[in-house]
A and B are shown apart, each in its own frame.
Chain A
Amino acid sequence: MTDPTTPSAGRAGAAEEAVVLERPRSSGQLFVAFTALALQGFGGVLAVAQHGLCEQRRWLSKQDFLEILSIGQLLPGPNICNVALMVGYRFFGLAGALCALAGLMTVPLVIVLTLATLYGHASSIPEVSRALRGMAVVSGGLIAGTALRLMAGLRTNPMGAPLCAGLGLATFVAVGLMRWPLVWTLLGVGALAMALAAWRIGRAGGEAPAGRAAPPPGGRP
């Protein structure tokens, strides 16, 4: 187990998986990669993005992805678009962010508007609506599978397994079962989680890492 107080916990987690991270070569490669991810994403791109960015291209560790997704979910806007912007920015600044987002949106936009022109009423065909229903069920399963994969990123979490499980359960009950608005859940459970994390980091003797030379996981080289 790595010392969870080091600022390089994300990197240590990556090493634990025995994965050497790579970098995209250019903003153009970001555009192409996000286009490819988007074109595989039926019923949501998030599952494909985690698979593609962490496991296939190895641009991000699971911890990195989890951190970026946390911020992307907290901010307004489509989660996957926020993730694309932040991943692009991390590697190539503003140009990278815009290329990643453009890659995610351009070709799918052309496809969806073409479909809208050709088959404006296709959804009234029973086979089409039945196929869509089956695809939605599988998309839900894939998002759950993404969550299961990302749980590996919790191993280095300073809060420890029981607290993580409790907070996760509280979130699920609030949003999934009680259907409370996300904003209130984030303000309530999210704030509690941050307070607990701050307490655990402090108790573990987490002195401010100001003098450390290790680059932050979200740092721009």
Chain B
Amino acid sequence: MSAALSIADWLALFGQFMVLSMLSIGGAIVLVPDMQRLMVEHYGLLSVDQFNASIAIAQASPGPNVLFVAVLGYQAAGPVGAAATLLGIMLPSSVLALAVSRWGAGREPGRLARAFKAGLAPVTIALLICSAWVLVAQTPGWRAMLLAAGAALLMWRTRIHLLWLIAAGAFAGILGWV
């Protein structure tokens, strides 16, 4: 499926991922529809199955979820493809995060900055609950809700190692409980 792209095409793809990077408020996962349009429909680099398998592989391995972007590039064109897509998605947002860190470092928080932090704290917590909700709602049924609620409570109230909980989830999935 991997079509031969010219250097100009790769640069264009890199540029488009750089644009997507600046739009990825809420994480790279919100960009999946756009990436599918680019890589599957526009450039024909991947089939739909390859695209979905890339996301599944990234979910199965440890590390930041954004690595699925590297798998997309890798499936299309090996290490060069992975570098193009991952660097494209990471560079602009990282430069911005560094700029913000640099701007805020060593500065006395003024009233505006304190209002920013205090105001956004409950919003941030609610957004975490939303992410959890979206992840769990992919699997319908009360048993998925129960498993998620159990994991949440155990994490909140005990010192159990999180890997045990993830392993229990994999086990429950294999046995067909969720």
A and B bound? yes
- Residues of chain A at the chain B interface (Cβ within 8 Å): 4, 7, 38-48, 51, 66-67, 69-82, 85-86, 89-90, 93-94, 97, 101, 104-105, 107-109, 111-113, 115-116, 119-124, 127-151, 153-154, 157-159, 163-165, 167-172, 175-176, 182-183, 186, 189-190, 193-198, 200-202, 206, 208-210, 212, 216-220
Asked whether any CB of chain A lies closer than 8 Å to the CB of B32, the reply is no
Chain B residues lying within 8 Å of A143, measured Cβ to Cβ, are 128-129, 131-132, 135
Q: Known: A109-B63, A112-B61. Is A154-B125 also a contact (CB below 8 A)?
A: yes
Q: Are A167 and B126 in contact (CB under 8 A)?
A: yes
Closest 8 A/B residue pairs (Cβ):
A134-B173, A108-B63, A77-B93, A141-B151, A138-B169, A145-B155, A140-B135, A123-B56
A82 vs chain B, min Cβ distance (A): 4
Q: Known: A167-B126, A212-B108. Is A137-B148 also a contact (CB below 8 A)?
A: yes
Chain B residues lying within 8 Å of A113, measured Cβ to Cβ, are 70-71, 74, 79, 82
Chain B residues lying within 8 Å of A148, measured Cβ to Cβ, are 152, 155-156
Across chains A and B, the number of contacting residue pairs, with CB separation under 8 Å, is 394
- Chain A residue nearest in CB terms to B133: A176
Chain A residues lying within 8 Å of B138, measured Cβ to Cβ, are 133, 136
**Which residue, B105, B107, B110, has most C-beta atoms of chain A within 10 A?**
B105
In the complex the two chains form, what is the Cα distance from A130 to B103 in whole Å? 46
Asked whether any CB of chain A lies closer than 8 Å to the CB of B96, the reply is yes
In the complex the two chains form, what is the Cα distance from A81 to B173 in whole Å? 29
- Residues of chain B at the chain A interface (Cβ within 8 Å): 21-28, 30, 50, 52-54, 56-67, 70-71, 74-75, 79, 82, 86, 90, 92-94, 96-98, 100-102, 104-112, 114-136, 138-139, 144, 147-156, 162-163, 165-166, 168-174, 176-178
Q: Known: A42-B62, A112-B71, A175-B127. Is A133-B166 also a contact (CB below 8 A)?
A: no
B2 vs chain A, min Cβ distance (A): 12
**Which residue, B52, B58, B112, B165, has most C-beta atoms of chain A within 10 A?**
B165
Q: Known: A77-B21, A157-B121. Is A147-B132 also a contact (CB below 8 A)?
A: yes
Q: Are B149 and A76 in contact (CB under 8 A)?
A: no
A71 vs chain B, min Cβ distance (A): 6
- Interface pairs (26), CB distance under 8 Å: A41-B64, A77-B96, A82-B93, A107-B63, A116-B71, A116-B75, A121-B53, A123-B53, A130-B176, A132-B56, A133-B138, A133-B139, A133-B173, A137-B148, A139-B166, A140-B131, A140-B133, A141-B147, A143-B129, A143-B132, A146-B128, A169-B126, A186-B25, A193-B120, A197-B119, A206-B114
